[in-house]
Structures are given as C-alpha cells and as structure tokens.
Chain A
Amino acid sequence: MTAEPLSARPQALTDLMGDVGLDERGTSLWQGAFQRLRRNPSAIIGALIVLAFVLVAVFAPLIAPYEPAKSQWIDQVTPSTVPGHSAEHLLGLDPLGSDLFTQLVYGARQSLIIGIVSTAFGLAGGVILGTLAGGLGGWVDTLVMRLVDILLSIPSLLLAVSIAAMLGQRPSAIMIAIGAAQVPIFARLLRGSMLAQRNQDYVLASFSLGLRRRTIVMSHVLPNSLGPVIVQATLTLATAIIEVAALSYLGLGAPDPAVAEWGRMLVKAQDRLQSDPHLTLLPGICIAVTALGFTLLGESLREALDPKSRR
C-alpha cells in the first residue's frame, strides 16, 4: 500500500511536533456556521436579545414582583387615570389594576410558548409535506404543491384568523392557527431546496452505490436541504410573535382574559392612548424588540450558512 508515513516517522520528530491533533474533530457545516456567527455583530445583538427574552420568559416567576393577572389594585384605577410609577409598582398599574411590569414579564413567557409551539408545528408540517414533494416527485409533488399554492394564495394572517375562529376559543387554537399558516411556506422552501440538491453529483453517486431511495432522501438530500428551512424558522418565530399579538388584539387570543399577553395588553390600553401612552408603548416595544432579535439572528444565520458568502 502507499503512504504509511505516520508510523515511520522518527520518534525525535514526533516529539518535536507534539501530538498531531489525534482528537481533533471534524467541523461540520453547522459548526462552521456557528464560528462565522460569532464574528458577526448583528448576530450577536440578535442572539443577546433572544437570550434575554428567553431568560425572562423562563424565569418570569423570579423576575416579576407579583403574581400575574391578579387585579388586586383595581380600586386604584379610575376611568380617567391609571397610577404611574411608584415605589411598589415600577411601571405602575395596567387598566385592570395589575402590576404592569409583572404583566410584561409574563407576556414574554406567553409569546415564547406560542411562538415556539406554532413554529414547531408549522415546521413539522412543512418538512413532512416538503419531503414528500421533493423526495418522491411525480404526482405526489404535483398534488402537494397545488395544495400549497392554494394555501399560499390566502394571506397568512387571514388564514390564521379563519383557523382560529374555526377552532374556537381554545388555548391551542391560536398556536395551531399560526403554525398552519406557516406550513405551506416551509413546504415550498424545502421542496425547492431538495430539488436543487437532487441533481447534485453525490446523489447520483449514492444511487450508483445501490442505496435505497428512502435512505438517499432522508440521509443525503434532506440534511443538505434543511439550511434555508432552519433560517426561515428563526424568521418565522418573529412573525409568529407579531401574529400572536395581532390575533389577540382581534380578540382571538387565549380565552382567559387574565393571562398576560402583549397583544391583549394593547387592546386593554387602547382607549387610554391619549392619557397614558406608556400602557400601549411598552408592550409594543417588547413585541418589536423581540421580533427584531429573532430577525437579526435569522438573517445572520442565513448569511453564515450561505456557502457563497464564506470567505
């Protein structure tokens, strides 16, 4: 056999060279992308915002000074004024007599849950449909893609509103509604990405090795096609958080009015826009900043995963 230099190397040389990284691991596409992300300032800003949001959501009970949504100070609220900042209440009260800061903190939790669950739902549905279409091709492809076209022709918010209205006032309704509206987007994205991969040489090479179609689709084509879909999922989280707010603003949110939720906080405060603008401004800023964080992270992820932008 050719080349077996390693064992033949003199001991003195080996000592000089030190341990030639035998435990060195391969860096995958994702590891490389992570390294590029760390050097991108907007990725770091996005990641910090997302991290802060997640921490607040997870540790809400530790951060918030009071129990959420107990209208225990309702007697301090008059039709014309809401108490502002005080020693007991950092941001004052909301129109229903709850601590505003507590409501905002628990609102993060609600947004995170709905955002993640609905995106996961949309992602799962989209990946299944997209893999069917892109992996099997033929009439399955045609059928799935026409279905996706029909769904895409309906504006996503309208679709979500209709689904939420159809499912009625259930806590899960809003998540299913928002997720379902994302399914066609994910499906079309994945299918396109898989079609591009299917003509690659390594797919032909896999066929030449007699691998089963299922194996080729699942372990070769799919992992190579997921990049854009993951990026889209990060961006969708931002959209989902905005849509949650929109749906609960429209009164299609969680049925329990006591559950703290940024969108509903906007509704409750809108008739006090003139007298107490901070009641709408603060939840609005929360929504915007969180969405911005996910968008920044998603965009940088797309850049990091794009082979063409690599240096």
Chain B
Amino acid sequence: MSETVTLEPGGRRGRRATREPVDRHQALLEVKNLNVTFQRRGGRATRAVDGVSFSVKPGEVVGIVGESGSGKSVTSLAVMGLLPSRGVQVSGEALYRGRNLLTMGNQELSSLRGRDLAMVFQDPMSSLNPVIPVGLQVTEVLRRHEDLTRQQARDEAEDLLRRCGIPDPRRRLGEYPHQLSGGMRQRALIAIALACKPALLICDEPTTALDVTIQAQVLELLKELVSELGTAMVMITHDLGVVAGLCDFVNVMYAGRVVESADRRELFAHPRHRYTHGLLNSIPRLDSPRGEALRPIPGTPRDTIAWSKACAFAPRCQFADDDCVVDDLELAPLGAAGHRVRCVHPAPEEDK
C-alpha cells in the first residue's frame, strides 16, 4: 500500500489523504447475483444464498432482514471473504468501488478489511479475545492499517473508546473483556470496527445478544457514529424495529433470496410481499386491545420448497395457490420507484 498518513503540526493524525474521492451517486458496494453453496464431501449441496443482489451508496444504511437461516449472515461473510475455503462455493460479484471482493487476492482483501470494510459481530463476548486487554485489540488494528507509533495508537484508542461512550477509557484500555459489561463490550467492538474510519460497516445482528435498554443505546451510538464519519452501513437483523429506526433502504430475505426490497418508508407503508406483510403483522402493537392473540406466520423456515420449483414461502403463505408453483420467480418492480417484490399474489397497495 502506498498510503501516506499526514501528520498535522499538532501531532493529530490527518484524515487519509489518498482515499478515493467519494462520488455520492456511484455505489460503494454492489453485490450482483451472489450465490453461496455449502457442500460437504459426499453430502447434498445446500444453497444458502441464491442470486442476491443489492447495492449500498456512500453514507447509506441498508438493512437486510430475515429469519434465522434466511442467508443474511452468510451474505455478509461472503462479501467480507470470511467463509471457510473448504466446502463452500461462492459465485457472483461483490464490487467494492468497482473492485470485485470475491476474486481479489488474499493480501489485497486483507488490507481492505478493517481499513475500508469492517464488521461488527453478534456476540460481543466471544468476538473479543479473552486473554488480551481491550486496549491492545484496538491499537492492533490501528497499527496494522495506519503508520502510528505505539503511543499515538494508544491515544487514538482512548479517544475512540470515549467517542463510543465508554466512560473512563484510559482504565478500560488495560482491562480484559470479561471485566466489561455486555453493552460495554459491544461498544468496544464497534470502536475496533470503526478504528480506521471504514467506508463500509457491516453489522451482523449487533444488538441480538444485548438486553433491550442497551440495544437502544448501541443503535443510537451506531447511528451517530455512522453519520458523523459518513460511513455506509449494512445492517443485518431480524428485528424490524431496528430497521425502522436506522435503515434508508431495506432488503427482506427469505430462504436465500431477496423477496422484497424497497425504501424504508415505502416498505413500512406498503409492504407488498406476503412474507413482509406477515412479519409486520406479527409485531405486537401497544394500541391493540388487551388479550389479543399475536399473529405469527404459521410454520417454520424449514417448511420450504426450492426456489427453482416454486415460491419458497408458499408452504407458509395463506394466499398460496397453484399459480405459486412457478420456477424462478422474478424480483419484479411494483408500485413506487425502487420497490421490487418477488410474489405471485402481492398484497394490495393499501395504507397501513
């Protein structure tokens, strides 16, 4: 890397000078027709991600929503090149500023990871190394990607922890992960991920392991930091509340495919796919009458059909009929601009 880090007279690190200028309209990340297939030797191949395409513009927050097993985490791991090399086949394209991450060499990818692309994982306990002080885990990333002395990295790490809402950061730097609370650990992980001011942050269910009050704080923090740094974000979650509060654009995934994608407002106002519809209906409402039963989507994600034969959601869909047995259903534009749905019987455009 021929990157130069400029030092301002005050000793403060200058913002990266050589980073390509940001074009607000060009996609930062463009995933095209991503396929991920797991196959064990002698076993049947399982297609976890099936032709997923989406794009993220600079500074934009894109949500990927779906149940467990819908392929959302695998999508993010594939983009980051973190899937194991054995037994996994990845095809398609993931273009980061026009460079395909999926075909990139290991060296090149590893120098992008952490500096341009970063990731926040679900479980803050196991994602921090238990035997190394938190401070070292922050400075390590800084020193890997930026030309800093030990002391500079330490100061920077302290500053980062403070900005991530960790009180008394100097002391925390010397502490071990088990001495931090769950929320604090997740803040530390966010600090590590944002250490080198990446252009794109992928959050894989960052709040699932936290309790509700901490969830809200962490989301608020992410929102603030992301808008402050101009970082684009891919938010992977199964929580529609998170999506409503954070995302600009939403992709709903089911059984490895995107079934609906739309602007956040559009999606919540006019959900067209029956699955999205069901998800929104299943959220308990504060203003609903006392004692009213929840309205879950019947069945489990395992009740599915291969997309190549019919709509995978059909077995759980109350509107399914013979027409739903169509091979490779299209993700077709419907209604408002940018709204696309993969459904034979989309919900009528009512106002919710």
Contacts and interface: CB of A to CB of B under 8 A. Distances in A.
Interface string A173-216: 00000000000000000000000000011101111111110010
B328 interface: no
A26 interface: yes
Contact of A25 (B110, B144, B168, B174): B174
Contact of A210 (B110, B131, B133, B162): B110
Contact of A208 (B80, B133, B167, B221): B80
B165 A211 contact: no
A3 interface: yes
Nearest to A205: B127
B176 A26 contact: yes
Contacts of B119: 205, 208
Nearest to A204: B82
Interface of B: 80, 82, 109-115, 118-119, 121, 123, 126-133, 140-141, 144-145, 162-163, 165, 167-168, 171, 174-176, 179, 189, 192-193, 217, 220-221, 224
Contacts of B144: 209-212, 215
Contacts of A24: 171
Given A207-B113, A211-B140, A223 B132 contact: yes
B129 A202 contact: yes
A207 B130 CA distance: 16
A307 to B, nearest CB: 9
A17 to B, nearest CB: 14
20 contacts: A1-B163, A2-B217, A5-B167, A6-B168, A22-B168, A26-B133, A27-B179, A28-B131, A200-B126, A201-B121, A202-B129, A205-B127, A206-B129, A210-B144, A211-B140, A212-B110, A215-B144, A223-B132, A224-B129, A224-B130
Contacts of A27: 176, 179
B123 A201 contact: yes
Which among A25, A206, A210 has the highest number of chain B CB atoms within 10 Å?
Answer: A210
Contact of B140 (A201, A215, A224): A215
B165 A3 contact: yes
A29 interface: yes
A4 interface: yes
A26 B165 CA distance: 20
Nearest to B135: A26
Contacts of B171: 22, 24
A249 B140 CA distance: 53
Contacts of B129: 202, 206, 220, 223-224
Given A2-B217, A209-B192, 13 more contacts: A3-B167, A26-B179, A202-B126, A202-B127, A202-B130, A208-B114, A209-B118, A210-B111, A210-B114, A210-B144, A212-B110, A215-B144, A223-B131
A275 interface: no
B126 A210 contact: no
Contacts of A3: 165, 167
B208 to A, nearest CB: 13
A86 interface: no
A242 to B, nearest CB: 32
B113 A208 contact: yes
Contacts of A210: 109-115, 141, 144-145
B275 to A, nearest CB: 29
A227 to B, nearest CB: 9
A29 B129 CA distance: 11
A80 interface: no
Given A3-B165, A26-B176, A205-B127, A220 B132 contact: yes
Given A4-B167, A204-B121, A209 B114 contact: yes
